[in-house]
């Protein structure tokens, strides 16, 4: 423990204690040269001291040269007040290691935000602040009703999802909703797609909770392996498996649903993370709708379609889980700002979101087409019918070597093995996102990539 701390004991006058406290902060380098002190009045009000006490403490600091005062600009810390030989300030904390600055245009989580509806969003945000004083108070744990209504209408029309607003829970990103699920399913043994999306696995690892990796075939999660496992909650991405890009056919969906119905306490989590984007293939509505929503917990997010910075995701709970959800999480506060909920509700209900999706779909289709045509003939392309990434395989190549050589060319690419838990992945496969690959950049970026992999 350090002794450079304010003590506010009973023995010495308060102004002296305040003075010593500030001196100690300056000496420790915690108040930096040129930094402005709060006004006397503000500090007095905040600390519950009289103005006189603060004035005397500031007076001492001034007279001893720790701070200087200029008319109308308050007190600032002087230069070079640390005496030689005094304890130096604490060494800088370890910083996040800077990764080499590689071009990450193939990122699978990139979003092109050039289409972001700035004007509309700014207007809706401002209206939300001004027009709804009651929005400042705490809202419903599962999110405000106008947003849940608009979302339910949207999902029913566009994804074939079947739900009432009471089943929807809004949260600040998929991970925040996974916390809700982990509380709701305390005895869940999770089946994870292998290879698959790592967020849920990391959470389970961090909490020391059990999970079972289940391999995939060309139709998605292996239903036989799932049935033979100890898992009771299967997490799947049927509309566009991450990272393989497989769209799960209706037959496999039926097999998984049958697994869920076989025993009580079994659930499917359908993460529909990038279902908004399909390129010419026939649509397969959400598994949640196939099932009528009895056994499927549905997850979706606006981070891919609006902007990663906007933290709004949602889950749809089967009616059977609602009561337990309310008992366990009904007291919690919703993790999304109510202003943002209101802005998004209006954005959805006005039809602006559908228009935005349409524009985005056209842009991403062009990017996909450009990437596919540049890659064609140089390897195998899979999973390009939907979503924002595809799988590119150059048979026989070593994945690690491809990633390293791409880095030497200045590009960050991800090998399929990065997403594997236990299952071996075919060699020579790269997971390439195209949402962040502009048409101008594509030829050079793909050129470098192809030099690296061939």
284-313 positions binding a second copy, by CB under 8 A: 284-285, 289-292, 294, 303, 307-311
**Beta-bridge mates of residue 298:** 270, 316
Q: Of 215, 361, 410, 417, which lies in the binding site for a second copy, with binding defined by CB under 8 A?
A: 361
For residue 426, the minimal CB distance to a second copy (Å) is 25
The span of 87-95, 263-271, 414-422, 425-433 binding a second copy (CB under 8 A) equals: 87-95
For residue 386, the 8-state DSSP code is: B
Size of the site for a second copy (CB under 8 A): 116
Min dist CB 89 to a second copy, Å, is 10
Is 413 exposed, middle or buried (CB count within 10 Å of its CB: 0-12, 13-18, 19+)? buried
- Residue 367 CB, shortest distance to a second copy, in Å, is 16
Instruction: Establish if 99 lies at the interface with a second copy (CB under 8 A).
Output: no
What's the min distance (Å) between Cβ of 358 and a second copy? Answer: 5
Residue carrying structure tokens 């909650």:
233
Nearest residue (CB) to a second copy, 76 versus 179: 179
CB of 15 to a second copy, least distance (A): 12
Minimum separation from the CB atom of position 295 to a second copy (A): 9
- When asked if residue 6 is in the footprint of a second copy (CB under 8 A), the reply is yes
> Under a CB-based contact definition with an 8 Å cutoff, are residues 5 and 24 in contact?
yes
Q: Is residue 93 a contact residue for a second copy (CB under 8 A)?
A: yes
239 binds a second copy (CB under 8 A): no
CB 439 within 8 A of CB 370: yes
| Long-range interactions of 47-56: CB distance < 8 A, separation 24+ | 47/18, 49/14, 49/18, 52/15, 53/14, 53/15, 53/18, 54/15, 54/18, 56/15, 56/19
Residue of the chain from 62, 145, 189, 199 that contacts a second copy (CB under 8 A): 199
Distance (Å, whole) CA 9 – CA 4 = 14
Q: Which is nearer to a second copy, 90 or 228 (CB)?
A: 90
Q: Is 218 in the site for a second copy (CB under 8 A)?
A: no
Residue 379 Cβ vs a second copy, minimum distance, rounded to whole Å:
25
For the record, the structure tokens of 154 come out as: 């949207």
Cross-strand pairs, 393: 380, 429
> How distant is the alpha carbon of residue 41 from its chain centre?
41
When asked if residue 335 is in the footprint of a second copy (CB under 8 A), the reply is: yes
- In the complex, the smallest distance separating the C-beta of residue 269 from a second copy, rounded to whole angstroms, is 18
Rounded distance, CA 63 to CA 210, Å? 64
Q: Which of residues 369-428 bind a second copy (CB under 8 A)?
A: none
Instruction: Show the tokens assigned to 59.
Output: 């007076």
Our finding on whether 135 is near a second copy (CB under 8 A) is: yes
- Rounded CA gap, 262 and 239, in Å? 23
87 contacts a second copy (rule: CB under 8 A):
no
Residue 31 contacts residue 22 (beta carbons within 8 Å): yes
For a second copy, the closer CB: 8 or 408: 8
Among 16, 20, 38, 407, binds a second copy (CB under 8 A): 38
């Amino acid at each position: 423990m350090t002794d450079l701390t304010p003590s506010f004991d009973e023995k010495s006058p308060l102004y002296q204690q305040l003075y010593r406290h500030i001196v100690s902060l300056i000496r420790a380098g915690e108040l930096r040269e040129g930094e402005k002190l709060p006004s006397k009045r503000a500090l007095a009000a905040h600390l519950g001291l009289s103005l006189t006490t603060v004035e005397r403490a500031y007076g001492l600091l001034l007279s001893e040269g720790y701070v200087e005062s200029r008319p109308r600009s308050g007190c600032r810390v002087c230069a070079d007040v640390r005496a030689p030989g005094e304890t130096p300030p604490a060494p800088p904390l370890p910083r996040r290691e800077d990764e080499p600055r590689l071009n990450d245009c193939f990122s699978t989580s990139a979003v092109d935000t050039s289409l972001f509806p700035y004007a509309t969003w700014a207007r809706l945000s401002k209206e939300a602040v001004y027009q709804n004083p009651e929005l400042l108070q705490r809202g419903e744990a599962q999110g405000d009703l106008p947003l849940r209504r608009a979302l339910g209408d949207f999902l029913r029309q566009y994804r074939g999802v079947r739900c009432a607003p009471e089943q929807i829970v809004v949260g600040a990103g998929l991970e925040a909703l996974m916390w809700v699920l982990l509380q709701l399913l305390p005895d869940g043994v999770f089946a994870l797609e292998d290879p698959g999306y790592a967020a849920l696995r990391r959470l389970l690892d961090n909490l020391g909770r059990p999970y079972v990796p289940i391999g995939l075939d060309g139709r998605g999660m292996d239903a036989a392996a799932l049935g033979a496992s100890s898992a009771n909650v299967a997490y799947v991405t049927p509309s566009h498996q991450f990272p393989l890009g497989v769209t799960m056919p209706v037959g496999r969906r039926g097999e998984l649903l049958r697994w869920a119905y076989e025993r009580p306490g079994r659930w499917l989590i359908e993460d529909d993370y990038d279902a908004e984007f399909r390129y010419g293939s026939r649509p397969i509505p959400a598994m949640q709708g196939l099932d009528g929503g009895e056994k499927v917990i549905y997850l979706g997010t606006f981070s891919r379609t609006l902007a990663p910075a906007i933290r709004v995701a949602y889950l749809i709970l089967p009616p059977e889980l609602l009561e337990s959800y309310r008992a366990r999480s009904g007291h919690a506060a919703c993790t999304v700002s109510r202003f943002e909920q209101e802005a998004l509700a209006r954005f959805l209900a006005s039809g602006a979101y559908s228009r935005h999706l349409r524009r985005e779909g056209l842009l991403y289709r062009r990017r996909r087409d450009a990437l596919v045509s540049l890659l064609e003939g140089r390897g195998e392309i899979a999973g390009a019918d939907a979503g924002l990434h595809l799988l590119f395989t150059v048979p026989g190549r070593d994945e690690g070597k491809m990633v390293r050589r791409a880095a030497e060319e200045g590009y960050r690419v991800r090998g399929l093995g990065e997403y594997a838990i236990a299952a071996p992945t075919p060699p020579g496969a790269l997971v390439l996102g195209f949402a962040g690959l502009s048409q101008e950049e594509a030829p050079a970026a793909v050129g470098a990539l192809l030099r690296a992999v061939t």
